Amino acid sequence: MGISRPSLGLYLTATYPSIRHFIEVLNGVRGLVDFLEIGIPTGNPKYDGPVIRVTHHGAELKGLEAVKVVDDYGRYSRVPVLMGYVADYVDSLNETASVARSVNAVSILFPDLIFDYPELIDRYVEVMVSNGLRPSFFISSKTPYKLVKRLSEYNPLFIYLGLYAATGIKLPIYVEQNVTTIRGIIGDTFLVVGFAVNNPDMVKSLIKAGADGVVVGTAFIQRMSNLESALSLLKWLRGGLP
Amino acid sequence: MTNVPTHWYNIAVDLPKPLPPPMDPYEGESRITLLNRIMPSELLHQEFTALQYVPIPEEVRDIYARLGRPTPLRRARGLERLIGNGVKIYYKFEGALPGGSHKLNTAVPQVYYAFRDGAKEVATETGAGQWGLAVSIAAALIGVKATVFMTKSSFMSKRQRVLFMRTYGATVYPSPSEVTKYGIEALKANPNHPGSLGLAISEAIDYTLQGEGRRYIPGSVLEFVLMHQTVIGQEAIEQIPEEPDLVVGCVGGGSNFAGLTYPFIGAKLRGEGFEGTRFLAVESKAAPKLTQGRYEYDFPDSGGLLPMIRMLTLGHNYVPPPSHAAGLRYHGAAPSLSLLVREGIVEARAYTQEEALEAGVMFARSEGIVPAPESSHAIRAVIDEARRMPKGSVILFNLSGHGLLDPDAYERVS
Ligand SMILES: Cc1ncc(COP(=O)(O)O)c(C=O)c1O
């Protein structure tokens, strides 16, 4: 099973700002996004920008307990993926994968895996596959070509390219050029891009540059106190999909 | 004939492991956001580019050529004779550039990109003054104003470089200065504050934020700085008539070392040559991050205004003992160099100031060029290694600068 092309994804941190609000948002976004990334709240969201860091610290529950408040994420999206920092789960990869499985997630994305635990990549893939999940990988624009190629050969659900240095912070970077370069290495592996996406023109040009899916996080979270306005952001962004 | 390279080389995409991204600390405002307000935009793109080769703008290539690129690659026959065991020694002479060091290779594009952003002025810090001087020259040629915060102890002892910078039209403040809040605070705490590079960086950034049309530009450590320096190694590969067994450079933040070695190391990592070549990074015992530092996220500046980067570091509050090789008195090494040292692809060694300056004198008397005290560290390693290598071995090193403004450094050893 894969993700439809092109598609729009949404990032949310589980149980932020509260369990009730989190579930309300999940209900609201049904049908508006093609895939979901559910962040596992952590005490050390090192590669996240200020807005998403606040969600980790402000989530009502911490760790996998937060994820378990929903027993089937498949109700809200065809392709739900968990996202966490592998630093928290180095010694419990299997348990983490079985929790993911139990809530009907299809993969776990660890943004720190290739940077901080490159020696763990093979084990991660094994654990995903043996638990009936697909691997997925986070890379930065400067990831070595050989490694990018190798990751694409694990048959991942997707490769996620972080467009900027941290979530939510736009910098003057030729992101389209970076997307096109990575696309040239990974063949037809599904390429997700994200970080600081906040308007349909950006969605459009990223897809045109070679992305298959675009994720919104910070911009949505900033509007979350007013669900209507947050949902209308998603509709507006969808307008950028061809 | 060797031409001025058309591209800069980005080693990140050939490394055996990915470079960890920069990161914001948990306290205070986002440093990554601040980059947007202070740095030329093209440099931020280059810091995060996925390209293996980044095109050098024609205007920049033009200035490179006018300033004397390609720089000479020479055989050190006098030094070879002195060592006397048939080892061949080549050096790339970056001191041939008008500023007397490799720093112009990145000052020119950085000032150019600031100008292209509409900046009227660039601000920076400098220790002994090599970087400040390079920025002053580049700013004069490109037509923007340069403002340099120079550590006060150097401002007093390196008068010639201050005058040199002013000759090119730069404004030079001793740091701590009266023009920024960081300087004023430091002076209040200690009216005789000698200054530090970290404080000078904070002053330059604060000064940049105070006025319209200003950009801050850094002299080392950031990956785009190292990338700009790769013109050195690309030229050297074309110029050197035989494959070196050993390539050597000194390390402050890592830019001249990377500039010479990365094109060679990249080829080796891709399996395109130089399989048997060793690479040796030489630091000062006054700031031994490569041999004694920890590999962790740390600030590149002691003020903690810039985002944290993962590197071999002695800690951003580390205060090195005084050293004539001021350019090596830096607490950390660029992320890519740190990674290469940890992976065993680059070897590292530290020398004392005396060991280095002695070698500098040997070089001056055998080759006729007084090396910069920083470069003398590389020369010390070249001599020690050459003595152990078999006849016919080939060494290449980076003579990152001349020492015409540093004869005081050699006073005690000559
Ligand atoms: C002549 C010379 N060599 C070397 C250095 C060290 O810096 P880096 O390691 O960035 O080349 C400096 C720094 O000021 C310098 O002036």
CATH of the domain at A218: 3.20.20.70
What's the whole-number mean pLDDT along residues B103-126? 98
With beta carbons less than 8 A apart as the criterion, state whether B223 and B255 touch: no
Among the partner-chain residues A49, A142, A173, the one whose CB lies closest to the CB of B19 is: A142
Q: Sheet harboring B171-175: ordered strands across?
A: B171-175, B145-151, B121-126, B214-216
pLDDT-derived band at A165 (thresholds 50, 70, 90) equals confident
pLDDT score, position B157: 87
DSSP assignment letter at B340:
H
For A41, residues 6+ apart whose C-beta sits below 8 A from its C-beta are A13, A14, A15, A16, A55, A56, A59, A61, A62, A63, A66
CA dist., res. A203 & res. B368, Å (int): 61
Answer whether residue A167 shows pLDDT above 90: no
Domain that holds residue A80: 7-238
Q: Could you report the per-residue pLDDT of B165-198, keeping only the tens digit for each?
A: 999 999 999 999 999 999 999 999 999 988 888 8
CA dist., res. A109 & res. B304, Å (int): 31
Closest Cα to atom 13 of ligand 1 = B327
pLDDT score, position B261: 98
Residue with tokens 């920049």: B60
CA dist., res. A192 & res. A3, Å (int): 10
Query: Hey, how many other C-beta atoms are within 10 angstroms of the C-beta on B275?
Result: 9
Q: Which residues of A touch B54 (CB under 8 A)?
A: none
What's the whole-number mean pLDDT along residues A120-134? 98
What's the whole-number mean pLDDT along residues B242-251? 98
CA dist., res. A124 & res. A94, Å (int): 9
Within a domain: residue A116?
yes
pLDDT score, position B318: 87
β-strand pairing of B294-298 with B309-313: antiparallel
Q: Could you report the per-residue pLDDT of B364-382, keeping only the tens digit for each?
A: 999 999 999 999 999 999 9
Whether the bond between B70 and the residue before it is cis, its omega within 30 degrees of 0, is yes
Residue A3, SS3?
Answer: coil
What's the whole-number mean pLDDT along residues A203-215? 97
Number of folded domains that form chain A? 1
Q: Angle, to 10 degrees, between the axis of helix A227-238 and the axis of helix A19-29?
A: 30
**Hey, which of B232, B374, B399 would you mutate to test ligand 1's pocket, going by the most ligand atoms within 8 Å of its Cβ?**
B374
Answer whether residue A115 shows pLDDT above 80: yes
Closest listed residue to residue B120, CA positions, set B47, B12, B212: B212
With beta carbons less than 8 A apart as the criterion, state whether B323 and B340 touch: no
Residue with tokens 């606040």: A54
Catalytic (active-site) positions of A: 37, 48
Closest listed residue to residue A125, CA positions, set A105, A161, A150, A162: A150
Answer whether residue A209 shows pLDDT above 80: yes
Q: Which among A47, A48, A142, A148 is the top mutation candidate for probing chain B, defined by the most B β-carbons within 10 Å of its own β-carbon?
A: A142
Among the partner-chain residues A50, A140, A170, the one whose CB lies closest to the CB of B21 is: A140
Q: Which atom of ligand 1 is nearest to the CA of B219?
A: 10
Take residue B412 and report the two structure tokens written for it. 């005690």
Cα–Cα distance list, A210 to A62, A191, A200, B177 (Å)? 36, 8, 16, 50
Residue B179, SS3?
Answer: coil
The average confidence (pLDDT) of chain A is 96
DSSP assignment letter at A85:
-
Highest mean pLDDT among A28-32, B197-201, B326-330: A28-32
Residues in chain A: 242
Q: Which residues of B touch A174 (CB under 8 A)?
A: 45, 49
Answer whether residue B322 shows pLDDT above 80: no
CA dist., res. A237 & res. A8, Å (int): 8
Distance from Cα B29 to the centre of ligand 1, integer Å: 31
What is the three-state SS of B201-231?
A: HHHHHHHHHHCCCEEECCCCCCHHHHHHCCH
Contact between B49 and A172 using a beta-carbon 8 Å cutoff:
no
Q: At CA A50, angle to CA A48 and CA A56, rounded to 5?
A: 65
Contact between A169 and B48 using a beta-carbon 8 Å cutoff:
no
Within a domain: residue A208?
yes
Q: Which amino acid is at B46?
A: Q
Within a domain: residue A126?
yes
Among the partner-chain residues B30, B223, B297, the one whose CB lies closest to the CB of A169 is: B30
Within a domain: residue A146?
yes
| Cα-only R_g, chain B | 20
CA dist., res. B137 & res. B368, Å (int): 26
Q: Could you report the per-residue pLDDT of B340-372, keeping only the tens digit for each?
A: 999 999 999 999 999 999 999 999 999 999 999
With beta carbons less than 8 A apart as the criterion, state whether A107 and A125 touch: no
User: Which chain A residues touch B if contact means CB-CB below 8 Å?
Assistant: 46-47, 49-50, 53, 114-116, 118, 139-147, 162, 164-166, 169-174, 177-178, 181-182
Distance from Cα B327 to the centre of ligand 1, integer Å: 5
Take residue B25 and report the two structure tokens written for it. 């600390």
pLDDT score, position A1: 56
B148 torsion bin: left (phi>0), alpha (psi -120 to 50), beta (else): beta
Among the partner-chain residues B17, B48, B52, the one whose CB lies closest to the CB of A173 is: B48
Ligand 1-lining residues (CB < 6 angstroms):
B 101, 130-131, 220, 250-257, 327-328, 372, 374-375, 400-401
Distance (Å) from the alpha carbon of A153 to chain B's nearest alpha carbon: 17
B306 DSSP β-pair partners: none
Closest listed residue to residue A145, CA positions, set B259, B10, B234: B10
pTM confidence score: 0.96
The average confidence (pLDDT) of chain B is 95
Q: Which among B32, B265, B338 is the top mutation candidate for probing chain A, defined by the most A β-carbons within 10 Å of its own β-carbon?
A: B32
Within a domain: residue A191?
yes
Least trusted range by pLDDT, from A51-55, B127-131, B360-364: B127-131
Within a domain: residue A45?
yes
Q: Which helix (H) or strand (E) holds B232?
A: helix B231-239
Q: Which residues of B touch A114 (CB under 8 A)?
A: 18
CA dist., res. A217 & res. A127, Å (int): 27
Q: Which residues of B touch A182 (CB under 8 A)?
A: 50
Q: Which atom of ligand 1 is nearest to the CA of B333?
A: 9
Cα–Cα distance list, B393 to B231, B271, B385 (Å)? 25, 22, 10
Q: Which amino acid is at B325?
A: A
Mark which residues 293-332 of B lie under 8 Å from A by CB: 297, 307
- Percent of chain B, pLDDT > 90? 88
What's the whole-number mean pLDDT along residues B190-217? 92
Phi, psi of B411 (to 5 degrees): -55, -45
Q: Which residues of B touch A118 (CB under 8 A)?
A: 17-18
Q: Could you report the per-residue pLDDT of B2-38, keeping only the tens digit for each?
A: 799 999 999 999 999 999 999 999 988 999 999 999 9
Least trusted range by pLDDT, from B54-68, B186-200, B219-233: B186-200
Q: What chain A residue is nearest to B15 in terms of C-alpha separation?
A: A144
Cα–Cα distance list, A200 to A94, B63, B227, B341 (Å)? 38, 41, 34, 44
Within a domain: residue A2?
no
Contact between A50 and B13 using a beta-carbon 8 Å cutoff:
no
What's the whole-number mean pLDDT along residues B199-209? 93
Whether the bond between A172 and the residue before it is cis, its omega within 30 degrees of 0, is no
Take residue A86 and report the two structure tokens written for it. 């592998």
Within a domain: residue A1?
no
DSSP assignment letter at A22:
H
Among the partner-chain residues B33, B41, B50, the one whose CB lies closest to the CB of A142 is: B50
Q: Which residues of B touch A143 (CB under 8 A)?
A: 13, 18
β-strand pairing of B53-55 with B7-9: antiparallel
β-strand pairing of B214-216 with B121-126: parallel
pLDDT score, position B326: 83
CA dist., res. B208 & res. B123, Å (int): 6
What's the whole-number mean pLDDT along residues A181-191? 97
